[in-house]
Structures are given as structure tokens and as C-alpha cells.
Amino acid sequence: MWYHIDPSSGTPIYRQLVEQVQQAVASGVLRAGDRLPSVRDLAVELAVNPNTVAKAYQELERAGVIETPRGKGSFIADRDHTVTEEERLRQFIEAADKLVADAYRLRIGSERAAALFAERLAEAERRRSGE
């Protein structure tokens, strides 16, 4: 499994891994039940410190993106049952606030922003539901 690591970016490498796994799930490349490589294998593959990979996996587990049943490896979790409703809402609102700031900065009006977002949602839905 390949991920793009950019050491020249100020973003910690474990964060880069977390974001890319999340993107892979959002875009349907990784699906519920898919197995992730072991910490050791991914570390060696990417030539990245194993603690960095372990930290990324811990973060993904905390965010409910992956599950690690004891001794069985790491798997992409079903999207809804591991994280509380409250936590999911909190994360979504945080992301939405960033988008709202961008809309203001880029002078995209509320109506246009909402329409664009709906469009993107439908597009992602189409991709996921299988082409």
C-alpha cells in the first residue's frame, strides 16, 4: 500500500498518513472491512519510523476510521458504530467551519456554497455506490 509522504511539509508525517487513509475511505478506495498493512510492514514499505505509523493508526482508531481487534490487525471500520453521534457531529462541524471561512475568503455566497456542496455530495455518493 502506498502513501505520499512529504517530509518538507510542516505537517507531521503521522498526520499525513491519517489524512490520506481518511481520504481513501471517503473516496471509496478503502471500504469497511479492508485490512491495513501491519505497522511494521507499512513502516518498512514507506521507509518511515514505525512509531510514526503506530501513532497514525492510534489516531485513526480514536477517530473511528479503523478498528483493531486484538491480535487480528487493523481494519477499516463500519462508518457509524464506533464513534458516538456527538463526536461525529463535533468533527463535522469543525470541518464545516473551515469551509465556511474559505467561502467567506473566496467570496462565495451562501446560496452558491450550499449548491456546490450538495453537488459534491451527490458526486461522491455516485462514485461510492459503484459507478
Residues near another protein (CB under 8 A) are: 5, 7-14, 40, 43-52, 55
CA distance 108 to 104: 6
The answer to whether residues 90 and 84 touch, using CB atoms and an 8 Å cutoff, is: no
Q: Which is nearer to another protein, 25 or 55 (CB)?
A: 55
What is the closest distance, in whole angstroms, from the C-beta atom of residue 116 to another protein in the complex?
A: 27
The answer to whether residues 25 and 76 touch, using CB atoms and an 8 Å cutoff, is: yes
Q: Which is nearer to another protein, 36 or 55 (CB)?
A: 55
Q: Which is nearer to another protein, 62 or 128 (CB)?
A: 62
Cell 451562501 identifies what position?
110
Q: Which is nearer to another protein, 39 or 65 (CB)?
A: 39
CA distance 9 to 11: 5
User: What residues contact 2, with CB distance under 8 A and at least 6 apart?
Assistant: 45, 46
CA distance 43 to 53: 6
